[in-house]
Amino acid sequence: MSFDKKVTVAHLSDLHLAGRNDRHQLARLDRMFEEYLSRGYDHLVMTGDLIDTASPADWEILREALERNGLFDWSKTTLVPGNHDLINLEEEMRIYNALNPNKSIRRHRMEARLREFDALFRPLISSDGQGEAGLPFVKVMRFGELSISLVAVNTVAPWSVTDNPVGARGSVSKETLQALLEPQVAGVLDGSFVIGLCHHAYRVYGVDDLIDQAFDWTMEFRNRDDYLRAMKKLGASLVLHGHSHRFQVYQAGGVTFINGGSFRYFPKRYGELVIGADGEWSHRFVNIVT
Ligand SMILES: [Fe+2]
Ligand SMILES: [Fe+2]
C-alpha cells in the first residue's frame, strides 16, 4: 500500500451505545464501519461517550463491533473515554447518599473504572498489547514519509454533588499534564503531525447562535487552558473531541478544535480529516447515504 499522497482519518464521537438490545443503533454502527472500510480510511478515532451506561459489559459491545469489522487493531483505531463511559450517576448518588464518601474515594472509583477501560481496549493503546499501558498515551504512526501522532488523554472528572452534579464537567489531571510535558514526549513527537484527542469541549456553546452561547458550567472543561497550553507545547495542529453533541470546527489559541458531534443523534454523519505529507490538512463532515 502506498501512502505517498494523503493520510485519511475518520472521526466519530458520542455513540452512547445503550446495551445489547440497542440493535438498531448497533446495526447503524456496522453500517458506518462498512462505510469506512469501503472508503479506505487509514485510521479511525472515537472521542468518548462510547456507551451510555458506564458499564464495562457495554464497552465489550463496541469492542466486538470493531473486531467484527477488522478494526480492533492498534494501527486502525484509537479511542478515549467520555463521562458516560466512566461515571455511573445512579451509582454515585446511591453511594453518596448511603456513605457520604470523601472526594478521594470518588476519584479512586473513577480511576479504577478507567483502568478497566484501559485493560479492555489495551490492544488499541499499545502495539504489543502488553503491560500496564493506559491513558494518557501517545501513538506515533508512520505512513511513508508522513508521521502522525495521536496524544490521547482522559478528561473525565470524578462526580461530585456540588462541583460536578451531572458528571459532565471535565478536567485533565495534574499528573497527565506533567506526563505530557516530560521532555521525552516532545522528543517522540518531533517531526510528526500531532493531533490531540480528548472527550470534553474546549468551547461548550454553539458558535453561530447568540442565544445558544449561554455558558453551561455543568459541561465545562475546567482547566481547558492548561490543556491547550500543553497541546501547543507539543506542537499539536488539531484537537479532536466530542461531548457537546455538536458538529463544529473552531479555533482557540492557534489550535483548531474539531467536535465530532454525536453518532447517537446524527448516525449518518462523521468527520473526515485528510493530511498531506507537507502537513497541509483539510476537514469536512460527511453524510453517508443509507
Ligand atoms: Fe455525549
Ligand atoms: Fe460527554
Instruction: Say whether 111 sits in a helix, a strand or coil.
Output: helix
Say whether pLDDT at 5 is over 80: no
Cα–Cα dist 20/18, whole Å: 7
279 Cβ neighbours under 8 A, 6+ residues apart? 193, 237
CA of 167 to the centre of ligand 2 (A): 9
Q: Which CATH class is domain 6-287?
A: alpha beta
Q: How far is the CA of 270 from the centre of ligand 2 (A)?
A: 17
Beta bridge partners of 236: 194
- At residue 210, the pLDDT reads 57
Residue-range domain boundaries for the chain: 6-287
Write the pLDDT tens digit of every residue in 175-222.
999 999 999 999 999 999 999 999 999 987 655 565 555 567 788 999
Residue 198 grid cell: 480528548
Residue 1 has pLDDT above 60, yes or no: no
Q: Which residue has the higher pLDDT, 97 or 194?
A: 194
Classify each residue of 235-269 as buried b or exposed e, where b means 16 or more C-beta atoms within 10 Å of its C-beta: bbebbbbbbbbbbbeeeeeebbbbbbbbbbeebeb
Grid cell for residue 210: 447568540
What predicted TM-score, i.e. pTM, was given to this entire model? Answer: 0.94
Q: Which of 19-28, 95-104, 131-140, 185-194 has the lowest mean pLDDT?
A: 95-104
Separation of 166 CA from ligand 1 center, angstroms?
12
Short-list 257, 158, 170, 256, CA closest to 221: 170
